[in-house]
Structure 1
Amino acid sequence: MKVIGHQEIEGLHLDPAIMWDWVDDALRHKSEMLMPAKISIHPGEDRFWNTMPIVMPTFGIGGVKLVNRYPGRTPALDAKILLYSTETGKPLALIDGNYITTMRTGAVAVHSADLLAVPGYQAIAIVGLGNTARAAMLVMAHRHPDRKFDIRLVKYKNQHRLFSERFSGYPNLRFSYCDSLEEAVAGAKVVFSAVTVFHDDVVSPEVFEPGTTLIPIHTRGYMQADLVFDRIYGDELSQIEDFKYFDRFPNFAEVAEVLTKKKPGRTSLEERILVYNIGIVAHDLYFANKILKLMSDTPSVSLSEPEGKFWV
């Protein structure tokens, strides 16, 4: 069994555009997978252990992802993936899940925008400028190298400047800074919200113009939009059906159902669309399997952790 750490995955220098394809392929086969709801244990204040099992017969793999959070640890949030062969039942690899979680989350956000936003969208608003937003921006820039994007960043401390400096080498990205989310979303066709925690709604849903696709990567802060947007999508019904207003969601469908033509996606340029991607272990295992294959000729190493606040 191989042991693959964060630094070894980074050393592969994966093309961010290929991660979009990985997300897409996994979703197209979602109905063939055995993927029960995650198990969540809370052993103390601000601590949790989440266990997510899955079997993916189409790809010959199965396994489990374990995520836990300890506030006093660095990093506080940690993820590991145990990958098995479904043919032999033998463990194939223990893989760092921090890189995979961040990059697949960013890729999923871009995939949802490409699938459900107004075609050819260019104006994008982003609030929350950490590693997940950076991952989404990387995938966006590499997936659409010939499209010019107008990126409006909501100011926060100095993160908006650090974010634009990180992507200064991409000629297809033009950045501007906004004092508020209301200012940033004016005219934006896609809104990425990557703030980890919002305790209350942060803006009125009326600030989002017709044709907007809102993608709250960490799901919080937009509950009132659940009641007035035209269509709402999600990556997994079981993770969304307990939302406060779920029984009033208009035209709900899973993203995978849109991909496989079982349910409609955007039907007009005026619809306001909301996408809740809570995160499914199918993407983690799919990414882990691809990475294992790319590293098949390398020796096992010890697990390593990401260094520094920003590593994307």
Structure 2
Amino acid sequence: MTASGKVTAGVRTFVSDVINGFVEVTHSSFALLGLAVAFAAITLTARPDLREAGEQHLMGWLQSRQPAPVAVAQVELEPVPADRPIAINPKELPREQAAVAYWLSKKYRVAPEPVAALVTEAYDIGSRAKLDPTLILAIVAIESSFNPFAQSAVGAQGLMQVMTRVHTDKYEEVGGHLAAFNPLANLRVGVKVLQECIARAGSLEGGLRYYVGAANLPHDGGYAAKVLAEHFRLRQVAGGRAASPAPAAKPVLSTKAPADAATPSAALPATGEKVALLAGA
């Protein structure tokens, strides 16, 4: 055999030995793995306490992988100071707030001065509640189109269409039930109700469903989508970008959930049964 033939034969022998060794190791590894699984199964069967501890550890790991719920800071309600202006010159506001005030004024055909006061209040209470102020203003837009005297057929009142008779305790903290028609007081109570809805649902979209009274219904009539779309436009305006002036939404005033619909839990009453006709709002 030539020298090159010997080298070739040696290489083949080496490769063959490596492959055979790998196969044997793999088989041994699978055998060891099978033994380990069998041993673990026997041990867990004989020791229920170990199985329970393992299940608890696994459950803790799975829960840690779940997305955290939306964090909303609880804000204490307080009466609106008597000297708090209900109208402000938008030119006196920071640029971002002024842009939002002017845009809302034009779209919803309301005076810019009272809208400027509402924008200021939304930014103030939004920072304390850890809620985007433009989200608060978007809800006002969809609920009442910035009409502070709006009232639905089922008793939802004011800018944020809060069910006054349901949330009397909250209105007592801001001056009584007639404070529902004070724009700033209504805004504060509405934000408080929204906080509770988001905290209960664990998400913004779920909180909006609770807010409109659709938590136990198959759909919310497009309410959450409308709010989030208006929120997106307001964020564009606040960021200095031109937002498409979509037609102003009709106020959600004459809507009512079907009589046979499941009633939301009494622990957190909805703001009103306002879902069934939302699709046509």
TM exceeds 0.5?
Answer: no
- Relative contact order, CA 8 A, sep 6+: which one is greater? 1
Higher helix share: 2
Tell me the TM-score normalised to structure 1 length. 0.21
Tell me the TM-score normalised to structure 2 length. 0.23
